[in-house]
Amino acid sequence: MTDSPDLENISLQIQQARAKFEGQLDSVGTDSVALESLRVLALGKTGYINELAKQLGKMNAEDRSKFGSLINALKQDATWRIAERKQSIEGIRIKQRLANERIDVTAPVRASALETGRIHPLSQVWDEVVAIFADMGFAVEQGPDIETDHYNFGALNFPEGHPAREMHDTFYFEPDASGARKLLRTHTSPVQVRTMEAGEPPFRFICPGRTYRCDSDQTHTPQFHQIEGLVVDETTHLGHLKWTLEEFLRAFFEVEGVELRMRPSFFPFTEPSMEVDVRCARLGNEIRIGEGDDWLEILGCGMVHPNVLRSSGIDPEKYQGFAFGMGIDRLAMLKYGIPDLRAFFESDLRWLKHYGFAALDVPTLAGGLSS
C-alpha cells in the first residue's frame, strides 16, 4: 500500500474543491457566459472535479467506494447548483423582457399607411376627368412624351415658320444626323393624329398626359398636364361639342348651374376654333364657378381641320368632328382653390396632407367625384 494515495490529502482536496466551486459560483452572479465557463472548468472532462476522480483508480475497493461517493456527491451538487443558477438567470431574463416588451393595449392605434397616405390633387383630377369621359363612352389613348416636329406641329396644320410654333416655347433635342430635331411635346394634340392614323373612324377618345414648355411662373411650370379630346364620325357637329363640354364641366365642378361662353379663337388644327369660358364670381382670392358676373377661360376647342384629318389618313369629305384641349393643373387649381401651381411639384408633405385625397376614395360618377 506504499503507493496508495494519501487519503487525508484527498479528503482535503475534495473539501477545497467544494469551497473553490462555491466561491466561483458566487462570483458568476447572473452572468450566463461566466456560468458556462465555470461548468467547463469544474465539471468538464478535464475539469478540476473530474481530475479528483482520477485518483480513485489507485485506491483499494473500500477506499474507492468511500471517496467515490464523496466525489460523486460533489459532482452532483455542483451540477445541480449550476442548473439551478441557470434557471434563475433565465427567470431574470424573462422578467426583464416582460418588463421591457410590455405593450399598452389601451394605447390608441397608430393610423395605417392607407389613412396617412394622400393622393396628389393632380392624380385626383386626372382620375375625375377620366371617370366623367369614360361615362360618356370615351376611350383613353396615349402617346409618347418625346415627339417629332411632324406630330407636334406639321400634321396638326402648323405651317413651317408660322408664329404659332414660336408661341409654344418648345424644348428641342439636339439635331440627329439628318438634321431633324425631336422635341418634348408641347401639347397632347399629337395623340389625335397618332390615334387616327392607327385606327378606323368613328373615333371618340380622350388623352390625358404630360406636356412641356419652357415657361415658369405662378401659373406655369415647365412640365404640366393636359387632356385632349376628339370625336370624329360622319355627322358630328358643333352642337355635340357644346353639349359634351357642358356635361363635362357640370360634372367636373359638381355645380348644377355651370354656364359656358364660347369665344372665337385660333388654333391651326381646328376650324372654326373657340375658347370656352365658364361663369364665375371672384371673391378676393377665391373663385366660385357657376355664380357671379365674371368669366374664366378654361379650354380650347373647335371642329377638326380637314388638313388634320387628311394627314391622319381620314377622308375629310366623309368624316368630320370636334376636338378640345385643357390643362389638368389649371382644372385642379380652380376646383380645389390651389393658388400656386409650383406647389404641385414641390413634394411638400404638409401641402399634400392639406390638399390631397384619401387613397381609397376613387372618383366615380355614381359614388361622387371629390367626396
Nearer Cβ to ligand DAH (74/249): 249
User: Contact between 300 and ligand DAH (CB under 6 A)?
Assistant: yes
Q: Give the contact letters, 22-51, x = binds to ligand DAH (CB under 6 A), - = no.
A: ------------------------------
Virtual CA dihedral for 332, 338, 344, 347, nearest 10 degrees?
-130
Nearest residue (beta carbon) to ligand DAH: 325
H/E stretch holding 342: none
Q: Mark the segment that binds ligand DAH (CB under 6 A) among 21-29, 197-205, 294-302, 352-360.
A: 294-302
Nearer Cβ to ligand DAH (124/188): 188
229 burial level (CB within 10 Å; 0-12, 13-18, 19+): buried
* Other C-beta atoms lying within 10 Å of the C-beta of residue 263: 11
**Are 278 and 260 contacting, i.e. CB atoms less than 8 angstroms apart?**
yes
Give the residue carrying C-alpha cell 485506491: 59
Distance from the first to the final alpha carbon of the chain: 105
Nearer Cβ to ligand DAH (134/262): 262
For residue 292, the 8-state DSSP code is S
User: Contact between 302 and ligand DAH (CB under 6 A)?
Assistant: yes
CB of 190 to ligand DAH, least distance (A): 9
CB of 123 to ligand DAH, least distance (A): 21
User: Contact between 363 and ligand DAH (CB under 6 A)?
Assistant: no
Nearer Cβ to ligand DAH (124/189): 189
- CA angle in degrees (0–180, nearest 5) for 295-296-299: 130
Rounded Cα gap, residues 241 and 238, in angstroms: 5
Rounded Cα gap, residues 67 and 72, in angstroms: 8
Nearer Cβ to ligand DAH (265/364): 265
String of b and e for 21-39 (b: at least 16 CB within 10 Å)?
A: beebbeebeeeeeebeebb
Binders in 189-248 for ligand DAH, by CB under 6 A: 189, 228
Strand boundaries in 101-187, DSSP class E: 118-119, 139-140, 146-147, 183-184
Rounded Cα gap, residues 302 and 324, in angstroms: 7
CB of 121 to ligand DAH, least distance (A): 21
CB of 115 to ligand DAH, least distance (A): 38
Nearer Cβ to ligand DAH (39/305): 305
For residue 174, the 8-state DSSP code is P
CB of 276 to ligand DAH, least distance (A): 10
Q: Give the contact letters, 303-342, x = binds to ligand DAH (CB under 6 A), - = no.
A: --------------------xxx-----------------
For residue 108, the 8-state DSSP code is P
Rounded Cα gap, residues 117 and 98, in angstroms: 34
Nearer Cβ to ligand DAH (269/357): 269
CB of 118 to ligand DAH, least distance (A): 29
Q: Phi, psi at residue 230, to the nearest 5°?
A: -145, 135
Among 187, 194, 250, 335, binds ligand DAH (CB under 6 A): 187
Binders in 85-144 for ligand DAH, by CB under 6 A: none
CB of 233 to ligand DAH, least distance (A): 17
CB of 301 to ligand DAH, least distance (A): 5
Lookup: cell for 313: 389618313
Which residues are near ligand DAH by CB under 6 A?
Answer: 187, 189, 228, 267, 270, 300-302, 323-325
